[in-house]
Structure 1
């Protein structure tokens, strides 16, 4: 029996990667004179991955990686006005309204009356706290965990802190790498809800078995009822 449900935030409850994608399109346009789009994307991804250990996940690290990439592809000649544009891109992302995915508010409200709900989201603390507050969902969760990484050790700590038996816990999220594989590895359950866009760093092969896949969070209540 499942009595505790973990929800991912970005691209599970609200749109996130689409905002990064739109900003990256603006980045390509800004640097079109210095690099072709494919090379620029490759170099930006390399910078993002290298900077994760320094900046962690989130918009601020993304903006700093864009600035670093812009400096590199222009051999240090990127104009100050372009750097200012990149900073403004980041501010626009941080100020962007939180847009819930279809059915999320109704499903979270319904499940909160029958299950213990824990929001387990990864990223910058200030940004995630802001999005959670603006989402209108905060009061529906019994606990909120904002973590710097989602790996087996993190999930073990979260469940231990809240006294949750892994065998009675299910994690719901869009990322196979962050929400599915590490959860299964500690003996808990997982439900994959794919999002239309996946950041290259989060791509991973799904397991052959021991997890469920649904097309929409709206499919979650009947799935849990039949578990």
Structure 2
């Protein structure tokens, strides 16, 4: 039975979180230099930035300006807390630092092409569903030449949640019993898939963004598989299908 298989992009097919962590380390270095004399620790700074960033995403989705703005908001929080004088030059430096994450070279996960080739050659229909800024996400897709696998079956949403997935499935007339969502985020990939009645593969990553880490509290109507490496996806799906149709 041929399947419709929907992939997440960031930290499923290509690396993402590690680049944000790279920039966050630089942010923490700068902020610690400015605010450690007032007794503010690096851990406190990092915790506040995470809190601010997640709060913005929960309200208005994956906007590219959220990340640099979280730097500014965190900077101003500790400025007000400590009484240290603010500086437009320092804020501009933080804004540029935050935005620089979007200029870093994208890198595929190991065996990305082989995994997609395997599924496509098996007759499955591949879809790409990602959250974020449309221009930034399409730039990544073009750099990785992913249109050859997904063609016009690419969906970029600012809010990546159950409502967004339901809209895609309904408008596309998907047969939900033969549709899969593959992704690293419990919040934006796995739970929406289960709530929409499709199969899910949780591609668990070692270092995950705090926003993505929540309990899986929905009961699957089909498959719920947990894997740790992208090349495990084709054989895992085939093994599940063999178990059904034997």
Give the alignment's TM-score, normalised by structure 1.
0.92
Counterparts of 2:162 and 2:182, CA distance in 1? 15
- Check the 8 A contact 1:192/1:214 in 2, yes or no: yes
Matched positions, count: 227
Task: Work out which of the residue numbers 146, 150, 160 in structure 2 matches 1:141.
Answer: 150
Aligned counterpart, 1:48? 53
- Give runs of aligned pairs for residues 1-227 of structure 1, distance below 5 A: 1=1, 3-32=3-32, 33-34=34-35, 35-52=40-57, 56-75=61-80, 77-113=85-121, 114-142=123-151, 143-207=153-217, 210-226=223-239, 227=241
Name 2:244's counterpart in structure 1.
none
Rounded to whole Å, the distance in 2 between the matches of 1:224 and 1:15 is: 23
Distance 1:147 1:205 in 2: 23
Deviation for aligned residue 1:78: 3.2
Deviation at 1:58, TM superposition (A): 4.8
Q: Which has the larger radius of gyration?
A: 2
Q: Distance in 1 between matches of 2:158 and 2:198?
A: 20
Deviations 1:180-212 (A, max 9, x none): 111111210000111222111111123576410
> How much has 1:90 moved relative to structure 2?
2.9
Query: What is the aligned-residue RMSD (CA, Å)?
Result: 1.9
Q: CA deviation at 1:44?
A: 1.1
Question: Would the aligned equivalents of 1:171 and 1:191 in 2 still touch at CA under 8 Å?
Answer: yes
Shift of 1:87: 2.6
Displacement, 1:221?
Answer: 1.2
- Secondary structure of the 1:31 match is helix
SS at match of 1:5: strand
The answer to whether the Cα contact below 8 Å between 2:187 and 2:212 also exists between their aligned partners in 1 is yes
Query: SS of 1:65's equivalent?
Result: helix
* CA–CA separation in structure 1 for the residues paired with 2:56 and 2:67: 9
Query: What displacement does 1:62 show?
Result: 0.6
Mark the CA change 1:152 to 1:53 in structure 2 (over 3 Å): closer, same or farther: closer
Q: Which moved more, 1:205-214 or 1:183-192?
A: 205-214
